[in-house]
């Protein structure tokens, strides 16, 4: 139901339930969690790409049949399960690129938003349609969507439940780029290859500074940035990078 492939130093994780449009059951979330643990803890992996199998859906949402049988307490545990994984993705020290290859609805949109940035196929559709079936977003959608597109647009999408296409998603800043379906994975690998040659420690500290600075006053956010600027100066990657620049050669980073 979930596959993990490593190409050089790039890990590609895919939800593999094309007949169910890659819907998120509890089992799928647990398997995804295992794959992310494996990729994050593998010292050879520099970048992670998250996608879905097939050309129809990234993740079409949660498993509605499974949810329909949940008690309120079970539903809360399911929400927390998904939230913990989206936090793991968001806080991964290794960049996670969302390759959105079709429908990204409900939980699918929420998992896409947890990625550090998103490239989408030209047939992708996004939305948080939970209110149409008497639910609310439960994997972080009420929080991450407003951070990405602003409170007004987030309210419109969350309260109407309407779907938007890739062009509109790009316009409002939900995604970074639109790519033809058959070129999507290669385009994600291309940017991953650019990222993986940079300092792993500098990347990790940049992600930390961005995430910790969210929703803080600028004065506090700048203190957070300065903290990580100091930390990066304690790394051998910093020494290697500056020396390589001065010596006009390509740096060899060790991630230390």
For residue range 162-196, list pLDDT tens digits in order. Answer: 999 999 999 999 999 999 999 999 999 999 999 99
Which band of pLDDT confidence, cut at 50, 70 and 90, is reported for residue 112?
A: very high
Residue 81 has pLDDT above 90, yes or no: yes
Looking at residue 243, its pLDDT comes to 94
- Describe the strand order of the beta sheet including 177-179 as a list of residue ranges: 2-7, 10-15, 47-52, 96-100, 117-121, 177-179
- Residues 53-64 have pLDDT tens digits of 999 999 999 889
| Residue-range domain boundaries for the chain | 2-196, 200-246
Secondary-structure class of domain 2-196 per CATH: alpha beta
Per-residue pLDDT at 191: 98
Calpha distance 59→234 (Å, rounded):
41
Identify the CATH number of the domain defined by range 200-246. 1.10.12
Percent of the chain surpassing pLDDT 70: 100
Rounded Cα distance, 254 and 241, in Å = 11
pLDDT at residue 119 in the model: 98
Q: Specify the pLDDT at position 26.
A: 95
What is the tens place of the pLDDT at every residue in 14-35?
999 999 999 999 999 999 999 9
In the chain, what percentage of residues exceed pLDDT 90?
97
Residue 76 pLDDT grade (very low, low, confident, very high; cuts 50, 70, 90): very high
Residue 206 has pLDDT above 90, yes or no: yes
pLDDT of residue 91 exceeding 90, the answer is: yes
Residues annotated as part of the active site: 110, 130
Q: Is the pLDDT of residue 211 over 90?
A: yes
pLDDT at position 215 over 90: no
- Whether 2-196 shares its CATH topology with 200-246 is answered no
């Amino acid at each position: 139901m979930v596959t993990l492939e490593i190409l050089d130093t790039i890990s590609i994780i895919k939800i593999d339930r094309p007949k169910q449009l890659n819907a998120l059951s509890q089992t799928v979330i647990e398997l995804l969690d295992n794959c992310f643990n494996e990729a994050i803890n593998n010292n050879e992996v520099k970048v992670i790409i998250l996608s879905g199998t097939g050309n129809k859906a990234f993740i079409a949402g949660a498993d509605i049949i499974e949810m329909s049988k949940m008690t309120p307490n079970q539903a809360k545990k399911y929400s927390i399960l998904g939230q913990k994984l989206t936090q793991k993705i968001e806080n991964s020290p290794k960049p996670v690129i969302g390759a959105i290859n079709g429908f990204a609805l409900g939980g699918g949109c929420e998992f896409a938003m947890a990625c550090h940035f998103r490239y989408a196929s030209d047939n992708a559709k996004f939305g948080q349609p939970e209110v149409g079936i008497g639910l609310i977003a439960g994997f972080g959608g009420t929080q991450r969507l407003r951070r990405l597109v602003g409170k007004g647009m987030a309210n419109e999408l969350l309260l109407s439940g309407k779907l938007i296409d890739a062009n509109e998603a790009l316009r409002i800043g939900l995604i970074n780029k639109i790519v033809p379906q058959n070129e999507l994975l290669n385009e994600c690998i291309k940017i991953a290859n650019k990222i993986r040659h940079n300092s792993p420690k500098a990347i990790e500290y940049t992600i930390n500074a961005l995430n910790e600075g969210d929703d803080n006053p600028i004065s506090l956010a700048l203190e957070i940035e300065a903290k990580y600027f100091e930390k990066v100066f304690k790394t051998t990657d910093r020494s290697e990078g500056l020396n390589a620049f001065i010596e006009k050669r390509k740096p060899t980073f060790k991630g230390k």
